């Protein structure tokens, strides 16, 4: 892979990883347009590894929150009184909520890396899940139908049950990549009556362990495949670019959801899904 393509793919990953529009879907489309074989082991590993850049951006952005949650969790392990801290419960919630996607990822690894990457699957998931997101988004509306982000539950009200449900939704994303991991987790948060900002922040927190683990696993197990195909130089560039772009995207998204609904994303998802169907049906790109 040449470095220009690496930069382009890094930008695509950085913009789409945390937006509810399917980063995998966008990467697959762009990789096909750049004439790469998205079913090759090297490209599959490349896609997983460059996500690490975006996740590290989330770690940096939420560093103070992460330190607070981890500190509360460790204190709660040793002190019964400290277990009343909502951050202790949130720490366990993030751990437990990360288990479903890890189990699904290991059990359905071959399906995820081949069949699930079909553009037909991605297009269908983009369109159909938009309906689910629309229903979820309505639950955060006030009586007038306007966006009221402060009317729902906040971060200090996350229960273990909430976390497991959000984690279960997150596990759908690798099987049907057009759903989008953030789209799945944000939808779950909204269905559970969290406000839009909290649902979005929970999406970030739930994604950090899962995506870091997935990227690290691919980096270790497919290191030779990346070297023989994409190349580690291009992979490193794409990872760095994705991190820089993702940091800006995170800051923008949190400001956006504080006063806006997800309607614009839903329209974009449907249009993108329809565009993919047209491109594949016309033979412009292969499924």
Which of helix, strand or coil describes residue 147?
Answer: strand
**Exposure letters 29-44 (e unless 16+ CB within 10 A, then b):** bbbbeeebebebbbbb
Nearest by Cα to 231 from 23, 53, 49, 57 = 49
Owning domain of residue 116: 3-281
Q: Does residue 23 or residue 59 have the better pLDDT?
A: 59
Residue 234 falls inside a structural domain:
yes
Return the minimum-mean-pLDDT range out of 72-81, 106-115, 149-158, 210-219. Answer: 106-115
Which pLDDT value is given to residue 141?
60
Residue 206 falls inside a structural domain:
yes
Q: Angle of helix 232-257 relative to helix 41-61, nearest 10 degrees?
A: 40
CA gap 285, 287 in Å, rounded:
7
204 contacts 247 by C-beta, under 8 angstroms: no
What DSSP string describes 221-237?
Answer: HTHHHHHHTT-HHHHHH
179 contacts 25 by C-beta, under 8 angstroms: no
Residue 287 falls inside a structural domain:
no
CA gap 35, 8 in Å, rounded:
13
Residue 19 falls inside a structural domain:
yes
Nearest by Cα to 39 from 116, 107, 105, 103 = 116
pLDDT at 222 over 90: no
CA gap 158, 23 in Å, rounded:
26
Residue 89 falls inside a structural domain:
yes
DSSP state of 40: S
Nearest by Cα to 230 from 23, 41, 13 = 41
CA gap 261, 240 in Å, rounded:
30
- pLDDT, tens only, 117-135: 688 888 999 999 999 999 9
Residue 286 falls inside a structural domain:
no
pTM here? 0.86
50 contacts 219 by C-beta, under 8 angstroms: no
Residue 156 falls inside a structural domain:
yes
Which of helix, strand or coil describes residue 184?
Answer: helix
Residue 106 falls inside a structural domain:
yes
Which pLDDT value is given to residue 247?
97
Band (pLDDT 50/70/90 cuts) for residue 13 is: very high
Which pLDDT value is given to residue 198?
92
Which pLDDT value is given to residue 148?
46
6 contacts 234 by C-beta, under 8 angstroms: yes
Read off φ and ψ for residue 79, nearest 5 degrees: -135, 115
> According to DSSP H, which parts of 17-159 are helical?
23-33, 41-61, 63-78, 86-107, 109-113, 119-138
CA gap 44, 31 in Å, rounded:
11
User: Look-up: residue for tokens 């890890």?
Assistant: 102
Which pLDDT value is given to residue 287?
72
CA distances from 256 to 195, 253, 261 (A): 13, 5, 8
Q: How many domains does the chain have?
A: 1
């Amino acid at each position: 892979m040449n470095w220009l393509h690496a930069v382009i793919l890094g930008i695509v990953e950085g913009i789409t990883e945390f937006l509810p529009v399917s980063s995998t879907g966008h990467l697959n489309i762009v990789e096909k347009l750049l004439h790469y074989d998205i079913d090759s082991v090297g490209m599959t590993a490349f896609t997983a590894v460059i996500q690490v850049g975006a996740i590290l951006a989330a770690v940096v952005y939420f560093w103070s929150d992460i330190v607070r949650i981890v500190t509360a969790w460790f204190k709660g392990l040793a002190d019964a009184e400290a277990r009343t801290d909502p951050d202790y419960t949130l720490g366990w919630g993030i751990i437990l909520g990360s288990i479903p996607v890890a189990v699904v990822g290991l059990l359905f690894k071959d399906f995820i890396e081949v069949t699930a990457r079909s553009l037909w699957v991605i297009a269908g998931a983009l369109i159909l899940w938009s309906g689910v997101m629309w229903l979820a988004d309505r639950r955060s509306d006030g009586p007038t139908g306007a966006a009221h982000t402060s009317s729902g539950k906040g971060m200090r009200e996350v229960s273990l049950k909430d976390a497991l449900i959000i984690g279960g939704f997150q596990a759908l994303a690798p099987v049907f990549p057009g759903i989008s991991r953030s789209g799945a987790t944000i939808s779950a948060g909204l269905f559970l009556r969290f406000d839009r900002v909290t649902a979005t922040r929970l999406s970030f927190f739930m994604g950090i362990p899962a995506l870091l683990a997935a990227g690290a696993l691919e980096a270790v197990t497919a290191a030779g495949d990346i070297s023989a195909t994409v190349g580690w130089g291009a992979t490193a560039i794409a990872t760095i670019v994705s991190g820089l772009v993702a940091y800006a995207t995170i800051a923008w998204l949190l400001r956006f959801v504080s006063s806006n609904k997800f309607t614009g994303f839903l329209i974009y998802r449907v249009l993108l899904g329809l565009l993919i169907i047209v491109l594949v049906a016309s033979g412009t790109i292969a499924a």
